[in-house]
């Protein structure tokens, strides 16, 4: 039994009740075990009014009374009012497509007939991530950086289009086609090693259909973010485009790992984007203080320690924390932020189920390291203890086999570069 009343969770919770007996079980558990002071409302208007006037650390929303489009719009309105805090949703029934959509704006989704105790554990897990990226040291580092990446306009337009119930592969392709260079990159990628195609795909609409609208949107985001960091002569320890290329391969392998265990679509989507952006925090640190960051890489190499361990020791933050902080400012899906943040040390997670964190950690660990001048370990070290805890050690051989298809296209093992360049 998990009792959070003595922990750091002593804030306020705002609950949108659907006034059903099943929901009351969740409400009773929150009141008894969460340590939160609870306010309950019964309609979206009151929920937004309370949220605008007061600070709440947790919002729990009972779904199913209105249409998916209306309820999704209401949650987006909450994010616009204030993006901080934990957002949980409890639903009576939700198909796979709706789970994907709600997972982008909620930290966790729970079936109404599920175990309320699981929510108490999830509150603690989500709060842990918020505590990490909310630390003063991360904010200090961010304040010192003169040029921070901005969220791309094209990504925002694609997001808006996906919110429309009328969005199609054609409408997504039409937005991307306004950027000829981006259109070419997407077509190059769909025909690359990351996606097993039996023929060459030359039409962008078809590419969007094959990859999926959200995956294409996420590739656009990744490309635009990395484009904001052109490499100059001040940095030579590793190639920025190798970091990007490897991230694409990790994303592709993460998809295959998810498929191998029949993971839900929202888990596959979260792992894909988290893998794409897992290391972009390194580019921020390298361009901010090239000489200082080079010394950290040298020390990590000399000590035989992974880069993130020495980052923490010398800077007080890691590149994953910097990256996760930026993603939180852009209101990226909470599951993606948590995966980026913890993928180097998944054993710290209290959950025993396969998740996006599992897929990204394994894919990052079993693909070769990025070539760098000092032979520093940038990728994760595989946590056998974590896989054993999840009962997944017997899957490792299969995942290694899946990884073989990607190794020949990896810039860290003598293979040719991926086509995402």
| pLDDT tens per residue across span 251-275 | 999 999 999 999 999 999 999 999 9
User: Is 244 part of a structural domain of the chain?
Assistant: yes
Q: Is residue 187 pLDDT above 90, yes or no?
A: no
- How many residues comprise the chain? 421
Contacts of 354 (CB under 8 A, 6+ apart): 261, 263, 267, 390, 392
Q: Which domain holds residue 359?
A: 142-150+228-407
Query: Domain check: are 272 and 386 in the same one?
Result: yes
Distance CA 74, CA 78 (A): 6
User: Is 199 part of a structural domain of the chain?
Assistant: no
| pLDDT tens per residue across span 73-122 | 999 999 999 888 899 999 988 999 999 999 999 999 999 988 888 899 89
User: In angstroms, what CA-CA distances link 75 with 48, 80, 250, 272, 355?
Assistant: 9, 9, 31, 23, 23
User: Is 113 part of a structural domain of the chain?
Assistant: yes
User: Is 311 part of a structural domain of the chain?
Assistant: yes
Burial 240-250 (b: 16+ CB within 10 A, else e): bbbbbbbbbbb
Give the pLDDT band (50/70/90) at residue 193.
Answer: low
Percent of the chain with pLDDT over 90: 62
Mean pLDDT across the chain: 89
Task: Give the pLDDT score at 335.
Answer: 95
Query: Domain check: are 80 and 112 in the same one?
Result: yes
Query: Domain check: are 323 and 234 in the same one?
Result: yes
| pLDDT tens per residue across span 318-346 | 999 999 999 999 999 999 999 999 999 99
Task: Give the pLDDT score at 111.
Answer: 93
User: Is 301 part of a structural domain of the chain?
Assistant: yes
Query: Domain check: are 121 and 146 in the same one?
Result: no
Query: Domain check: are 237 and 365 in the same one?
Result: yes
User: In angstroms, what CA-CA distances link 295 with 185, 291, 299, 338?
Assistant: 34, 6, 6, 28
**Two tokens at 66?**
């209105």
Distance CA 320, CA 318 (A): 5
Q: Which of 131, 163, 196 is the last residue of a domain?
A: 131
User: Is 163 part of a structural domain of the chain?
Assistant: no
DSSP bridge partners of 88: 60, 108
Give the pLDDT band (50/70/90) at residue 7.
Answer: very low
Query: Domain check: are 61 and 146 in the same one?
Result: no
Distance CA 57, CA 116 (A): 18
pLDDT higher for 414 or 129? Answer: 129
Collapsed DSSP state (helix, strand, coil) of residue 277: helix
3-state helix, strand, coil in the chain (%, to 5): 60, 5, 35
Distance CA 286, CA 238 (A): 10
Q: What is the rounded average pLDDT of the residues 408-414?
A: 59
Q: Is residue 352 pLDDT above 80, yes or no?
A: yes
Task: Give the pLDDT score at 234.
Answer: 83
Query: Domain check: are 270 and 368 in the same one?
Result: yes
**Two tokens at 356?**
């996006």
Render 84-140 in DSSP notation, one character per residue.
Answer: -SEEEEEES---HHHHHHHHTT-SEEEETTS-HHHHHHHHHHHHHHHHHHT-HHHHH
Task: Give the pLDDT score at 380.
Answer: 92
- DSSP secondary structure letter of residue 346: G
Q: Which of 131, 159, 182 is the last residue of a domain?
A: 131
| pLDDT tens per residue across span 28-73 | 888 888 889 999 999 999 999 999 999 999 999 999 889 999 999 9
Tally of domains within the chain: 2
Q: Looking at 112-116, 178-182, 318-322, 370-374, which range is the least confident one? A: 370-374
| pLDDT tens per residue across span 122-170 | 998 899 999 999 899 999 999 998 888 999 999 999 999 998 888 999 9
Torsion of CA 61, 67, 70, 73, to 10 degrees: 60
Query: Domain check: are 246 and 125 in the same one?
Result: no
| CATH number, domain containing residue 95 | 3.40.50.2300
For 41, counting Cβ atoms within 10 Å of its Cβ (0-12 exposed, 13-18 middle, 19+ buried), the class is middle
| CATH number, domain containing residue 236 | 1.10.3210.10
- φ, ψ at 101 (rounded to 5°): -65, -45
Contacts of 275 (CB under 8 A, 6+ apart): 247, 250, 251, 253, 254, 359, 360, 363, 364
Distance CA 225, CA 379 (A): 20
Q: Which of 104, 131, 158 is the last residue of a domain?
A: 131
Q: Is residue 373 pLDDT above 80, yes or no?
A: no
User: Is 175 part of a structural domain of the chain?
Assistant: no
Render 188-224 in DSSP notation, one character per residue.
Answer: HHHTSTTS--SS----HHHHHHHH-HHHHHHHHHHHH
Task: Give the pLDDT score at 4.
Answer: 36
User: Is 176 part of a structural domain of the chain?
Assistant: no
Query: Domain check: are 44 and 146 in the same one?
Result: no
HSE-up of residue 372 (Cα within 13 Å, Cβ side):
23
- Do residues 330 and 151 make contact, with C-beta atoms less than 8 angstroms apart? yes
Query: Domain check: are 316 and 353 in the same one?
Result: yes
Query: Domain check: are 53 and 29 in the same one?
Result: yes
Distance CA 272, CA 270 (A): 5
Sheet arrangement for strand 37-41: 37-41, 12-16, 58-62, 86-91, 108-111
Task: Give the pLDDT score at 332.
Answer: 95
Query: Domain check: are 124 and 146 in the same one?
Result: no
């Amino acid at each position: 039994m998990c009792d959070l009343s003595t922990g750091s969770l002593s804030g306020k919770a705002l609950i949108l009740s659907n006034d059903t007996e099943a929901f009351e079980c969740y409400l009773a558990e929150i009141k008894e075990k969460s340590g939160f002071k609870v306010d309950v409302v019964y309609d979206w208007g009151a929920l937004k009014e309370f949220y605008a006037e007061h600070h709440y650390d947790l919002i729990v929303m009972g779904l199913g009374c209105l249409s998916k489009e209306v309820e999704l719009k209401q949650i987006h309105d909450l994010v616009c009012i204030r993006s901080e805090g934990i957002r949980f949703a409890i639903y009576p029934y939700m198909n796979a497509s709706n789970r994907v959509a709600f997972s982008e704006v909620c930290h966790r989704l729970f079936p109404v007939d599920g175990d309320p105790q699981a929510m108490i554990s999830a509150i603690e897990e989500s709060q842990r991530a918020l505590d990490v990226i909310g630390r003063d040291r991360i904010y200090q580092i961010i304040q010192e950086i003169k040029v921070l990446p901005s969220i791309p306009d094209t990504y925002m337009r694609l997001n808006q289009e996906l919110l429309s119930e009328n969005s199609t592969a054609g409408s997504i392709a039409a937005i991307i086609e306004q950027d000829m260079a981006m259109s070419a990159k997407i077509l190059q990628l769909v025909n690359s090693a990351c996606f097993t195609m039996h023929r060459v795909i030359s039409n962008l609409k078809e590419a969007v259909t094959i990859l999926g609208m959200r995956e294409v949107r996420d590739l656009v985001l990744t490309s635009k973010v990395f484009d904001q960091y052109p490499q100059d002569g001040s940095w030579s320890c590793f190639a920025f485009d190798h970091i990007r290329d490897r991230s694409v391969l990790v994303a592709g392998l993460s998809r295959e790992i998810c498929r191998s265990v029949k993971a839900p679509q929202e888990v596959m989507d979260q792992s894909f984007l988290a893998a794409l952006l897992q290391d972009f925090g390194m580019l921020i640190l390298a361009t901010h203080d090239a000489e200082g960051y080079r010394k950290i890489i040298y020390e990590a190499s000399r000590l035989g320690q992974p880069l993130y361990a020495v980052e923490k020791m010398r800077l007080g933050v890691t590149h994953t924390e910097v990256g996760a902080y930026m993603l939180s400012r852009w209101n990226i899906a909470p599951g993606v932020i948590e995966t980026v943040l913890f993928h180097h040390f998944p054993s710290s997670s209290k959950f025993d189920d396969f998740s996006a964190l599992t897929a990204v950690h394994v894919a990052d660990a079993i693909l070769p390291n990025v070539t760098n001048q000092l032979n520093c370990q940038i990728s994760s070290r595989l946590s056998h203890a974590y896989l054993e805890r999840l009962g997944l050690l017997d899957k490792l051989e299969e995942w290694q086999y899946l990884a073989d298809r990607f190794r020949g296209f990896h810039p860290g093992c003598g293979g040719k570069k991926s086509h995402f360049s």
